[in-house]
């Protein structure tokens, strides 16, 4: 069943407690899986009860809110769980650039959730659990250049750094893409399983072909409480414990990375302050250590003042300086001019929202767009005036390894 904006047909929704399903990913059928998982908890979904291809443009989040209200407000809900993520849920992905098409919202026909020692199943209509099929290996993976070769991208980084030194802007985040081709069709469930096991601290996600494991929580809303994890400033992992420790200490002491991080924190403060009655940001960042890289990280918490939904907060925050730059409007124009590609959903908001406005949305980093035997992988980094193009290329290569591991195992 497909529901378009303006329809009045109600969705019959039923949420019931179920036994702990264990690994959520192995409960998914192969076709069009939806997922948001961290430390084995979260939501997975399949089927389409309602879907919207959100029109591009500056009004896209307002359009999305209107569509969601149409779908959710007309739903006939029987929910005995009454928890964030129960009842009807929409998974969504928004493109990085508001002018790019491809933003999508989907209300799955079935959602299986596992959270805080509880598990539940939400179904819409006469939906039954589909039969699990074995995970399929994609076989040998070959890679090719994306929009720019490595030397071309280094040249773009050098141009951006020169413009920063000339005072045009403080920071710009530049991304590059890598094309992967498999021998067999790529099973998104296998990618999710590998990502969730290898990167449990990250949010493994799948929405409308966009798949990845992001370390960056853009926003979580639970009632009036909100939380965000800001990441900016990165170094690869070391060759051993001593090298690893030294790299982490150097990252914490790096003036370039600390300034990049402060730019990101400042943009989050500016976006959230008008929506919040209280907002707390740490004085100093901490290290977030992942299997492939280390990041400077800051946990931001607050309380909403006017009952805004999680999507309202997403609209206010995107794009942050962590994925765009400072000042944001100038950085976006530099990205459009220099990157030479459309990011699609990469570095855009991805996550879920329920009928009460609760939800979790991340920034779609460490990700790729999967279609059949092909995947387009993305990675990038924050460019400052003193950025070294070769070092920035190495950082991007380290970030590519997340999705390369998901493809290759």
Question: Any idea which residues carry the catalytic annotation?
Answer: 171, 216
Query: Can you tell me the distance from the alpha carbon of 90 to that of 83, in angstroms, rounded to the nearest whole number?
Result: 15
For residue 217, the cross-strand partners are 362
Query: Can you tell me the distance from the alpha carbon of 250 to that of 263, in angstroms, rounded to the nearest whole number?
Result: 19
The tokens describing 379, both together, are: 């990675």
289 Cβ neighbours under 8 A, 6+ residues apart: 237, 244, 248
Contacts 24+ apart (CB under 8 A), 391-399: 392/154, 392/157, 392/174, 393/150, 393/153, 393/154, 393/157, 394/236, 395/234, 395/235, 395/236, 395/293, 396/153, 396/175, 396/176, 398/236, 398/237, 398/292, 398/293, 399/234, 399/292, 399/293, 399/365, 399/366
Nearest to 215 by CA among 108, 323, 95: 323
The tokens describing 372, both together, are: 């059949």
Query: Can you tell me the distance from the alpha carbon of 342 to that of 100, in angstroms, rounded to the nearest whole number?
Result: 8
Query: Can you tell me the distance from the alpha carbon of 142 to that of 265, in angstroms, rounded to the nearest whole number?
Result: 38
């Amino acid at each position: 069943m497909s529901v378009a904006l303006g329809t009045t047909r109600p969705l019959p929704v039923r949420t019931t407690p179920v036994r702990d399903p264990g690994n959520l990913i192995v409960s998914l059928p192969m076709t069009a899986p939806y997922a948001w998982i961290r430390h084995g908890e979260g939501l997975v979904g399949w089927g389409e009860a309602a879907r919207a291809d959100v029109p591009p443009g500056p009004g896209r989040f307002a359009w999305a809110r209107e569509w969601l209200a149409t779908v959710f407000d007309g739903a006939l809900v029987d929910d005995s769980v009454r928890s964030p993520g129960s009842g009807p849920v929409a998974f969504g992905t928004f493109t990085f650039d508001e002018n790019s098409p491809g933003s999508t919202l989907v209300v799955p026909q079935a959602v299986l959730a596992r959270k805080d020692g509880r598990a539940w199943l939400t179904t819409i209509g006469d939906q039954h659990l589909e039969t699990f099929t074995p995970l399929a290996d994609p076989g040998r993976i070959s890679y090719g250049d994306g929009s720019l070769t490595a030397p071309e991208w280094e040249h773009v980084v050098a141009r951006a750094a020169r413009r920063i030194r000339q005072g045009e802007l403080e920071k710009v985040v530049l991304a590059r893409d890598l094309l992967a081709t498999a021998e067999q069709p790529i099973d998104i469930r296998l990618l999710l399983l590998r990502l969730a096991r290898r990167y449990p601290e990250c949010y493994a996600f799948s929405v409308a072909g966009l798949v990845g494991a992001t370390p960056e929580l853009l926003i979580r809303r639970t009632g009036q409480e909100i939380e965000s994890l800001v990441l900016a400033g990165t170094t690869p992992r070391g060759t051993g414990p001593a090298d690893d420790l030294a790299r982490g200490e150097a990252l914490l002491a790096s003036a370039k990375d600390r300034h990049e991080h402060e730019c990101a924190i400042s943009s989050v403060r500016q976006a959230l302050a008008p929506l919040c009655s209280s907002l707390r940001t740490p004085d100093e960042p901490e290290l977030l250590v992942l299997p492939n890289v280390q990041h400077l990280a800051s946990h931001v918490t607050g309380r909403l003042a006017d009952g805004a939904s999680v999507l309202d907060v997403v609209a206010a925050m995107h794009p942050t300086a962590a994925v765009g730059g400072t000042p944001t409007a100038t950085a976006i124009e530099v990205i459009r001019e220099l990157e030479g590609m459309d990011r699609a959903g990469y570095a855009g908001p991805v996550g879920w929202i329920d009928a009460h406005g609760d939800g979790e949305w991340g920034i779609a980093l460490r990700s790729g767009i999967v279609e059949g035997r092909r995947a387009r992988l993305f990675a990038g980094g924050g460019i400052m005036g003193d950025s070294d193009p070769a070092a920035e290329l190495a950082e991007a290569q380290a970030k590519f390894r997340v999705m390369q591991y998901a493809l290759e195992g």
